[in-house]
């Protein structure tokens, strides 16, 4: 198997996104009842973490309460969407297609990196996120415990 590229894979949790009729109220509920450190002027919490392989490498995971028009939720009536951080978006999407997984053809590019979407066998849509090489979230960071 010399020369064969390793399979692309998920490297961590990028974020959890909750769909809400009232994102501000939902974020306040999580702040009040679960102690989630949601930013006061938004509906977002961000946690920093360090790579166990390279402690100098800092990443982040995001929690957000969002309205139905704040993002593309895909078809159906989802209430949550998991965002997985990946090491190679194109290769992972190709692997999923070969496995006959339903994959959205669209790839979104932004200053936050590249995003793709697919559905699990139960029809749950998930997001795949390849961060830029040097990523720093604009949100206030909190250490993960």
List of E strands, the chain: 10-19, 44-50, 58-66, 80-86, 108-110, 113-119, 125-130, 141-143
10-143 topology per CATH: 2,3-Dihydroxybiphenyl 1,2-Dioxygenase; domain 1 (3.10.180)
Q: How far apart are CA 135 and CA 59, in angstroms?
A: 8
Q: How far, CA to CA in Å, does 109 sit from each of 1, 45, 53, 113?
A: 33, 22, 27, 6
Using alpha carbons only, give the angle 26, 29, 34 rounded to the nearest 5 degrees: 125
Helix, strand, or coil (residue 81): strand
Nearest alpha-carbon partner for 59 in 145, 140, 134: 134
β-partners of residue 49 are 59
pLDDT at 24: 86
145 residues of the chain, pLDDT tens digit each? 567 888 888 878 888 888 888 888 888 877 887 677 888 766 888 888 887 778 887 788 888 888 878 777 777 776 778 888 888 999 999 999 999 999 999 999 998 899 999 988 767 788 999 988 775 555 444 444 3
pLDDT at 143: 46
């Amino acid at each position: 198997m010399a020369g064969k590229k390793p399979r692309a894979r998920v490297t961590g949790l990028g974020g959890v996104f909750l769909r809400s009729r009232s994102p501000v109220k939902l974020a306040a509920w999580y702040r009040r009842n679960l102690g989630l450190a949601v930013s006061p002027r938004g509906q977002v919490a961000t946690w920093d973490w360090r790579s166990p392989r390279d402690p100098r490498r800092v990443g982040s995971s995001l929690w957000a309460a969002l309205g139905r028009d704040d993002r593309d939720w895909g078809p159906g009536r989802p209430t949550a969407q998991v965002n997985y951080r990946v090491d190679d978006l194109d290769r992972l999407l190709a692997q999923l297609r070969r496995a006959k997984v339903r994959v959205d053809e669209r790839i979104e590019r932004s200053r936050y990196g590249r995003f793709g979407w697919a559905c699990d066998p139960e029809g749950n849509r998930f997001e795949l996120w390849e961060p830029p090489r040097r990523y720093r979230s604009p949100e206030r960071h909190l250490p993960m415990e």
